[in-house]
Structure formats: structure tokens, C-alpha cells
Structure 1
Amino acid sequence: MKGGGGIAFPTEKKVAKLIKQGKNQMTNDTEWIIISDSSKRVSSLGEKFAIPIAVRSEAIDFVTTTLFESFTALAVARRGKNDNDGNFILDVKVKPHDVQKDWEEEIESIPGVVCSGLFLDDYADQIWVTSPDGSIDIYLPEQK
């Protein structure tokens, strides 16, 4: 279940990576499904929401500067809000259509970044998006 607010996304990311690693050792019968509501549906990342990034407190200035210089992204620290593990959360604003597939890995390789709220690495087998009328749209990721 995809959360909201960015407090639990590091836990979501850990679970996603564990499932992805485990799938490499399991049968093809195992599927991971992300469930979300329609309020999170966008045509392009950055269109409606900032991208949350968990950062160690001592690295906030370095990470903020690196994000701006490398990705032309504006990062704003959430005041008084930490993730479930106590890391600071930066809300990173990007221009719609700027996000590239390799950004997840590049951002997460910046010293001080714990993880990003980007899930660009084909984690899910299916994505279910619920609508207020109770209908469900099912999306399948592009095949490699």
C-alpha cells in the first residue's frame, strides 16, 4: 500500500528492495502489487508533488547543494518532520518531465542520502489505482 506524507517511504523502499531481491530467488509466480488512490496519479513526476528524500542531518546542506547543481532541483527541509528512522526529509521540487530513469540510483548515491521516494527501477509487477467511485485501474510496467 503506497503511503502518503513521506514519513514511511524509507520503510516502503526497504520492503521494495527486499521483495525485488527475493524475487530473483523465487519462482515467477510471486508478484508485488502497489496499491494507491487516484489522488497520486500523475502523467509526469514533479507535476503535483515534491519527491521526498531521506537525508542524514549532518548532510542536509551538502545534499541540497548537490541536488540543485546536478539536477536543477530545489530541496526544502521539512521542519519538525523526520521519517520513521529519524532521518530528515527533504521535499525536492523538480520540473515535470525532467525526471530520468537513472535519477533514483544517482540521487541515492549522493553521500548523506539514505533513500529517495523514487521507485523507478521496475519494483512492481502491477500497480492498482483506486478511484472514489470504487473502480480500480490496473497498470502493468513496461516489459524489459
Structure 2
Amino acid sequence: MSGTLSPIDKAKFVAAKRAVDYVEDGMKVGLGTGSTAAWMVKCLGEMVRNDGLKITGVATSTRTAELARQVGVPIVTLDEAKWLDLTIDGTDEYDHNLNLIKGGGAALLMEKIVATASDQMIVIADLSKQVETLGAFPLPVEVIPFGWQTTKALIEETLVNLDVLGRTASLRMNGASPCITDEGNYILDLHLRRIGNPRQLSLVMNQIPGVVENGLFIDICDVVVIGNGDGSVEVRDINNGTVEHEQIDVQETDNLFVDIAD
């Protein structure tokens, strides 16, 4: 096992493996985007193939949809599903109130829509994503391409009056071209360093013309499953006020530990 997964990948895997315990037969499940969420999708695929699990997935990106189909998880649109039992997704940061920064994978808009259309959101992460105060990770803001430089200037001007340490925004690039989301939009990364009032910032950002959505997930996450490199996990349920610690048995399979991209 130690030769197969690095400690960080093992931490992501055990978090994903523990999180899929929440999935029950017949559920409609939102499938997140990113390297940690990819482990979760592969775990669900194994349960579908080996255990006969019957679920319906709603993907938060085209690449998650492609992976789900590859491993045998049926995919429908959110309009077809209408409402979901739960969503499992990763995060770029989380604080003690389980508020999140997401969008490092440029899928924040679909991720937020899917998460808020679910009875429960479970976040899978490793300890490196835990922070006292959100903001060290640049906050992604999805904006329409038309007039994006004006939108950027408005955002930076607005930040002057908010409780943040940094006030610059940069256009996310994909090589020499702007990064394009699945919805055809751009991503501005806000380099804030510390966000004193995430709720206020989220509300204000979404009032700026040209802004589609921001990567602050406030009061959306119900449970965070934190994986560690030694195979242990911590499960924090903010609604029940519980913290549980478990050890996950990691069994190597033929298909699970290949083709996971960061």
C-alpha cells in the first residue's frame, strides 16, 4: 500500500471511502469535482460494480461526469433529478464552522447549485485544508467574459470597504488563454489572505454586475470527513455537534488506485 499511494493521496482516499458510507441504495447523489472527489466517484463505481449499489449521480463538471460514466455510475442532469439526497464534494479550505472556499477546479457554480439542491452536503478533505480563518486560498469568483476587466475593477474597488487583508484580483489562465468554465465564463481569483466576514463578502460580491457566483459556501456543508495519511479519519457533524474518529481499512484493488489526476 505504501508504494501505491503517497500520504496525501491516502488521506484523500480514506476520506472518500468513509464518505461513501452515507450513500444508500436508491439515492440521488451530487458528485463533486477535483482530485479528492475523484476518489469518491471511483469508490462509488466500485460499490456499483461489486455490491450492486443502485444510485443516480448528478455531476458538477463535465470531467466528473466522464469519470462517473467510466466507472459505471449513472448520470442524469439536475433538472431530471430535481432534488438530491446528498452531495459529496471536496474543498479548498474549511473553517471550524464548516464554511468553505471552493472553486480551485473552476466548477464552483455547478458545485454550489448542486450542493444547495441537496438534503445534505458532505465535504471530504485532508487536514491541510483546515484553517482558522478563510482566505489564505484565493477566493474564486466566476464572471461573464463581457466586460470582465470592468468587473474586476469593481470587485477590487468594493474590497476596499470589506474586512479582508488583500484586495487584488487576477484572471485565472489556462496556458496563454483565460480559463473557461463549463458555463463559458471566466474565473477571477481574489487574493484576500484573510476574510473577516465571509457572509458579508459573499453577499456583496454577488451584487456586482458581471459576477455570476463566488466560491464561498456559507451554511451549506453539514459534515466534513477529514482523512489522514495514516488511514485514520475524523468525521465532524455540525448539526449533531459530534466528532468521531475511525480507522479505515485500505484494501488495494485492481482499478481503484489508477488514473486519478490532481
For Structure 1 versus Structure 2, the TM-score category normalised by the shorter chain is 0.7 to 0.9
Partner of 2:221: 124
Task: List alignment gaps of at least 5 residues for structure 1.
Answer: 24-30
Structure 1 residues 28-43: aligned runs within 5 Å: 31-43=120-132
Moved over 4 A (4+): none
Partner of 1:55: 143
What is the CA distance between 1:17 and its match in structure 2? 2.2
Partner of 2:95: none
Q: Which has the larger radius of gyration?
A: 2
Given the alignment of the two structures, is residue 111 of structure 1 paired with residue 209 of structure 2, yes or no?
yes
What is the CA distance between 1:90 and its match in structure 2? 0.6
User: Equivalent of 1:139, from 236, 247, 252?
Assistant: 236
What is the CA distance between 1:97 and its match in structure 2? 4.1
What is the CA distance between 1:3 and its match in structure 2? 5.6
Alpha carbons of 1:9 and 1:138: their partners in 2 closer, same or farther (altered >3 Å)? Answer: same
Instruction: Tell me which amino acid in the other structure corresponds to 2:225.
Output: W
1:59–1:111: 8 Å Cα contact kept in structure 2? no
Alpha carbons of 1:3 and 1:123: their partners in 2 closer, same or farther (altered >3 Å)? Answer: closer
- Number of aligned positions between the proteins: 131
Q: Secondary structure at the match of 1:115?
A: strand
Structure 1 residues 74-85: aligned runs within 5 Å: 74-79=168-173, 80=177, 81-85=179-183
Instruction: Tell me which amino acid in the other structure corresponds to 2:112.
Output: K
Instruction: Tell me which amino acid in the other structure corresponds to 2:157.
Output: E
1:45–1:96: 8 Å Cα contact kept in structure 2? yes
Q: Secondary structure at the match of 2:140?
A: strand
Q: Which has the higher contact order (CA 8 A, sep 6+)?
A: 1
Distance (Å, rounded) in 1 between the aligned partners of 2:211 and 2:239: 28
Distance (Å, rounded) in 2 between the aligned partners of 1:3 and 1:97: 16
Distance (Å, rounded) in 1 between the aligned partners of 2:202 and 2:239: 18
| Percent of aligned pairs with the same amino acid | 30
Distance (Å, rounded) in 2 between the aligned partners of 1:9 and 1:32: 14
Partner of 1:15: 114
The normalised TM-score by structure 1 is: 0.78
Task: List alignment gaps of at least 5 residues for structure 2.
Answer: 1-88, 93-103, 161-166, 241-262
User: Equivalent of 2:186, from 84, 88, 94?
Assistant: 88
